[in-house]
Chains A and B, each alone.
Chain A
Amino acid sequence: MTQISVTVNGVRNEADVEPRTLLVYFLREHLGLTGTNVGCDTSSCGSCTVLLDGESVKSCTLLAAQADGRDVTTIEAMAEPDGTLHPLQDAFHRHHGLQCGYCTPGMIMAAASYLKENPAPTEQEVRESLEGNLCRCTGYQNIVESIMDAAGHMSGVKA
């Protein structure tokens, strides 16, 4: 067992994990944060995207131990404590950017990270930024629209 200390959504968690535990399973099974989904076993789909020290990462690509001493944000912490949706969440709702919802947390986390890097992207740039995140329902069109719209609402808003 490996002892780790990971801050997740502002809460510090000390835990003993098997060395082979992936970050995504640490989040889902140890912390019960099941909003982060697993859609593949080859780091292809991006469903498990979270923020690590503010930058998006596929949480199946690193071990929980690699997150030791670091700060993780998951979809569960995107809305305000009073329930007010994050501009990205709100935009996905208004633009019908989700159907089955399985890829949605990963899409939102990837977009949150990308918009910090590029607050005013073109449509093509948004599409390119999503290359690591697969959706099977929407054809991406409304996801792209959601992100473009959120970008316009997000200056100065936390990501």
Chain B
Amino acid sequence: MATMEKLVGQAVLRKEDPEFLTGSAKYTDDLSVPGMLWMAVVRSPYAHARIKRVDVSEAMAMDGVIAAFAGSDFEWAGPLLMAWPVTEGLHNPLHYPLVTDKARYQGDGVAVVVARSRAIAEDAVETVKVDYEPLPAVVDMHEALSDDSPLVHEEFRTNESYTWANVQGDVDGVFADAPVVVKEHYKVHRLIANAMEPRSILVQPNPAAEQFTMWSSTQIPHILRTAMAIATGVPESKLRIIAPRVGGGFGSKLQVYPEEALALELARRLRMPIKWTESRSEGYTATHHGRDQIQDVEIAAQEDGKILGYRVRVHANMGAYLMIIAPGTPVLGGFLFCGCYGGVAYKTEIVGVFTNTTPVDAYRGAGRPEATQAIERAIDALARRVGKDVVEIRRMNFMPPFTEATQSIGGLMIDSGNYPATLDKALGLFDYEQLRKEQQARRDNGDTKQLGIGFSTYLENCGWGPSRVIGGILKYAGGGWEAATIRCHPTGKVVAVIGNTPHGQGNETTFAQVVGDDLGVPIEDVEVLFGDTDVAPSGWDTYGSRSAAVGMPALHRATSKIVEKARRIAAHELEVSDADLKYEGGTFSVRGAPSVTRTIPQIAFSAWRGHDLPEGTDPGLEESAFFDPQNLVFPFGAHICAVEVDTETGEVEVTKYVAVDDVGPVVNPMIVEGQVVGGVAQGIGEALYEEAVYDENGQLLSSSMTNYAVPSATEVPSITTGNHVTPSTTNDMGIKGVGETGTIASPPAVLNAVVDALSHLGVTQVERPATPEHVWRAIRRAKGGRS
């Protein structure tokens, strides 16, 4: 048998593409079942209002309306799941799918109607009479923590949910003695994920058996199954959750939503299938938001710029309730405010704050983009302060290269790292010296289009996660392992079942590459199944860049078990001992007699028939494995951005962008590049265009896609990528995650470039996002004018 070329490492085209290209992919809203009814939610127009009375009688009288309920018509078995109590004393309000006492954000669900069609349900919502008593709302976090603030949850007598701290070394001592202390204040604005597919749910009951199938546009069918059992009391064993094709998530579908519990409960109550699809504008208040922090960042350093310590205080907006991992989202960045730099002391304190706004939770990067933007902007401020080039200040502060797990000053055991290497490679791709010359020339000419260069030499933690660690010091309620089953069919075809739930990441291809190599079968013969709790009953789904770092090692373990069993059967058939067999590329051959062989498909056939198996060997060739990593993984890299800033209009254009990332060995360079480029584009959107804005009454002003600037094709540049490989020590494959690196790295590279372009004018900071208005104001401020 000819040796097959390895699949891992190749830019294999995606197996999943044809159905998307031809319109045959089925997303949740594409599904209908006979008798299906439509649900619509009555939402509070006020950010904060007592609910005095809800009258659904007019809705009930409409033709085509089947049912209508107020919040008080439901008795829930339990609240919506909040899985991450980051501190012992954390205030966690019980959160149910509909409110009964008061609405706490614009969009909070108050009542629900069910009708024969989507249009009738939407019309019926308009007829539900809710008697609201509007209350003063609080939107600003500092105001929320003041003594006279309205309370989002009266029972806590405060809007503070928690204060979490990570202290390493003698922080105050270091800061007291340091010759240089840089203090920066950053507002990390609020974002809306805008996965292109709006959320959608369909629940099909089997009333006689009390079984339910839920299709949901979710990243987390497994977690959702448990959460639905808690909220509704439907046993997990009677609940099948399917995430069919899911049109992007970016964290916004890493959630247990009120509508999911409502649809399930209504299907049970009405014994009919229930469907719900959010409109985009509805989703702007009903789907969780991301980011929204206020950061006070201090760096202590020697006079030459060598960093001694970090002291950071973060206020993190939780919105009105604590969603599934909301308290932990900022904590994911709580070890990273030192980036990839050294020092002797570190402190991060995070205060979670309730406000009358849409709940905030994970958005691509979840906590790490916030920390990265803080350290990468602050180190530029340090460079300005001590008069060093931004490249030089980074080099002198990098942790030296290491190949064994090493402790950072932030308190992490980092798997491996080589920070100068990615910076060198990025500089090589960027033409730094030439652009600096051009920058100087434009400054000398007083050009109205000034050139700026920004760096981001980031470090992140992902590959969520080692159960023992996340459940230990991080106090996360769930686990972080992954589960895989490999089934070898008698015809030679292989099914790989995995507990990850991809929604655009291309796992059907990359996972098949790994399995194909391990078992020596062509990629066409490997079918990857996922996203259905009856098909893939175990797993922890997709988020935190965990599919490659945790899912692939699980698959690899399962294929190893297959090979182990197949070896016994092959040895038996070939009448040699196990040790006499060599296994390579899917083929067992007898040492010394290489033409005597058995392949995995041949053994699968033998194992299926079971005619002649070695004594004590069970029939079938199917193995399952779990993988729980011992540590997180720590991708890093260097991103360099060039911008042109119009000093008269404040307009910014990204003219060049280089991203060099170290994500360990690359399984599929095409897919890795796609993740990086897409992530960088999202980060450019964050840095320059996108912002969710509330007025002081808690009304979302950026209330639809027309006034929230998702970047278009003309607003993001072509991005040059490069890679560097430092294998992770966390898993045998050396793999790290890549799903979030682009979004983590890019915003500070862009923002630093904008400041750099204007630094000769005295500009030292620009407010995020760097819109023409914010840039223009920064220039005005620097000139001493009113901003």
Number of interface residues of B (CB under 8 A): 56
Q: Among residues 77 to 125 in chain A, which have CB atoms less than 8 Å away from a CB atom of chain B?
A: 78-79, 85, 89, 92-94, 96, 98-105, 108, 123-124
Task: Assess whether B23 is in contact with A96, with CB atoms less than 8 Å apart.
Answer: no
Closest chain B residue to A25, Cβ basis: B118
Specify which of B18, B710, B712 lies most central, judged by the most chain A CB atoms within 10 Å of its CB: B712
Residues from chain A with a CB closer than 8 A to the CB of B248 are 99-100, 102, 136-137
Task: Assess whether A20 is in contact with B119, with CB atoms less than 8 Å apart.
Answer: yes
- CA gap between A133 and B711 in the complex, in Å: 10
CB contact between B196 and one of A36, A92, A103, A108 (< 8 Å): that residue: A103
Question: Interface code B1-36, partner A: CB below 8 Å = 1, 0 otherwise?
Answer: 000000000000110111111111111011010000
Specify which of A78, A92, A102 lies most central, judged by the most chain B CB atoms within 10 Å of its CB: A102
Task: Assess whether B279 is in contact with A102, with CB atoms less than 8 Å apart.
Answer: no
A52 at the interface (CB under 8 A from B): no
Closest chain A residue to B21, Cβ basis: A89
A47 at the interface (CB under 8 A from B): yes
A154 at the interface (CB under 8 A from B): no
- CA gap between A140 and B705 in the complex, in Å: 18
- CA gap between A33 and B26 in the complex, in Å: 11
Contact of A34 with B30 at beta-carbon distance under 8 Å, contacts A39-B196, A100-B197, A144-B713 already known: yes
- CA gap between A144 and B26 in the complex, in Å: 25
Question: Interface code B42-77, partner A: CB below 8 Å = 1, 0 otherwise?
Answer: 000000000000000000000000000000000000
Q: Among residues 66 to 113 in chain B, which have CB atoms less than 8 Å away from a CB atom of chain A?
A: none
Task: Assess whether B714 is in contact with A128, with CB atoms less than 8 Å apart.
Answer: yes
Residues from chain A with a CB closer than 8 A to the CB of B394 are none
Dominant secondary structure at the B interface = loop
Residues from chain A with a CB closer than 8 A to the CB of B25 are 35, 101
Closest chain B residue to A147, Cβ basis: B713
Total number of residue pairs linking A and B with CB closer than 8 Å = 180
Binds A, one of B398-406, B609-617, B634-642, B677-685: B677-685
Task: Assess whether B280 is in contact with A136, with CB atoms less than 8 Å apart.
Answer: no
Closest chain A residue to B742, Cβ basis: A139
Closest chain B residue to A123, Cβ basis: B718
CB contact between A78 and one of B22, B679, B682, B705 (< 8 Å): that residue: B22
CB contact between A102 and one of B197, B706, B719 (< 8 Å): that residue: B197
B449 at the interface (CB under 8 A from A): no
Task: Assess whether A141 is in contact with B504, with CB atoms less than 8 Å apart.
Answer: no
Task: Assess whether A37 is in contact with B197, with CB atoms less than 8 Å apart.
Answer: yes
- CA gap between A94 and B13 in the complex, in Å: 6
Residues from chain B with a CB closer than 8 A to the CB of A41 are 279-281, 704
Question: Interface code A12-42, partner B: CB below 8 Å = 1, 0 otherwise?
Answer: 0000001010000000110001111111111
Specify which of A39, A47, A76, A124 lies most central, judged by the most chain B CB atoms within 10 Å of its CB: A39
Q: Among residues 31 to 78 in chain A, which have CB atoms less than 8 Å away from a CB atom of chain B?
A: 33-42, 44-45, 47, 74-76, 78
- CA gap between A126 and B714 in the complex, in Å: 9
Residues from chain A with a CB closer than 8 A to the CB of B245 are 100-101
- CA gap between A72 and B212 in the complex, in Å: 38
Specify which of B20, B245, B506, B673 lies most central, judged by the most chain A CB atoms within 10 Å of its CB: B20
- CA gap between A139 and B718 in the complex, in Å: 8
Contact of A139 with B681 at beta-carbon distance under 8 Å, contacts A38-B198, A45-B705, A99-B674 already known: yes
Contact of A45 with B196 at beta-carbon distance under 8 Å, contacts A74-B23, A96-B14, A100-B247 already known: yes
Closest chain B residue to A41, Cβ basis: B279
Task: Assess whether A137 is in contact with B704, with CB atoms less than 8 Å apart.
Answer: no
Task: Assess whether B23 is in contact with A34, with CB atoms less than 8 Å apart.
Answer: yes
B246 at the interface (CB under 8 A from A): yes
Q: Among residues 472 to 508 in chain B, which have CB atoms less than 8 Å away from a CB atom of chain A?
A: 503-506
Closest chain A residue to B673, Cβ basis: A96
Task: Assess whether A92 is in contact with B21, with CB atoms less than 8 Å apart.
Answer: yes
Specify which of A78, A79, A136, A142 lies most central, judged by the most chain B CB atoms within 10 Å of its CB: A136
Residues from chain A with a CB closer than 8 A to the CB of B701 are none
- CA gap between A80 and B505 in the complex, in Å: 28
Closest chain B residue to A36, Cβ basis: B23
A143 at the interface (CB under 8 A from B): yes
Residues from chain B with a CB closer than 8 A to the CB of A124 are 714
B671 at the interface (CB under 8 A from A): yes
Residues from chain A with a CB closer than 8 A to the CB of B673 are 96
Residues from chain A with a CB closer than 8 A to the CB of B712 are 130-134, 140
- CA gap between A142 and B17 in the complex, in Å: 14
CB contact between A142 and one of B195, B198, B504, B674 (< 8 Å): that residue: B674
Contact of A98 with B705 at beta-carbon distance under 8 Å, contacts A138-B678, A139-B681 already known: no
- CA gap between A74 and B24 in the complex, in Å: 12
Closest chain A residue to B681, Cβ basis: A139
Closest chain A residue to B674, Cβ basis: A96
A135 at the interface (CB under 8 A from B): yes
Task: Assess whether A39 is in contact with B198, with CB atoms less than 8 Å apart.
Answer: yes
Closest chain B residue to A104, Cβ basis: B20
Closest chain A residue to B680, Cβ basis: A139
Closest chain B residue to A90, Cβ basis: B21
B775 at the interface (CB under 8 A from A): no
- CA gap between A78 and B713 in the complex, in Å: 23
B194 at the interface (CB under 8 A from A): yes
Residues from chain B with a CB closer than 8 A to the CB of A142 are 674, 677
- CA gap between A103 and B506 in the complex, in Å: 16
Residues from chain A with a CB closer than 8 A to the CB of B197 are 37, 39, 100, 102
- CA gap between A23 and B739 in the complex, in Å: 36
B633 at the interface (CB under 8 A from A): no
B335 at the interface (CB under 8 A from A): no
Contact of A92 with B17 at beta-carbon distance under 8 Å, contacts A47-B196, A100-B195, A136-B250 already known: yes
A-B contact pairs, 7 of them (CB 8 A): A37-B196, A42-B280, A93-B17, A101-B16, A102-B27, A138-B678, A140-B713
The 10 closest A-B pairs by CB, nearest first: A35-B23, A101-B20, A139-B681, A102-B247, A100-B504, A75-B23, A34-B30, A44-B705, A99-B504, A40-B280
Residues of A within 8 A of B (CB): 18, 20, 28-29, 33-42, 44-45, 47, 74-76, 78-79, 85, 89, 92-94, 96, 98-105, 108, 123-124, 126-128, 130-144
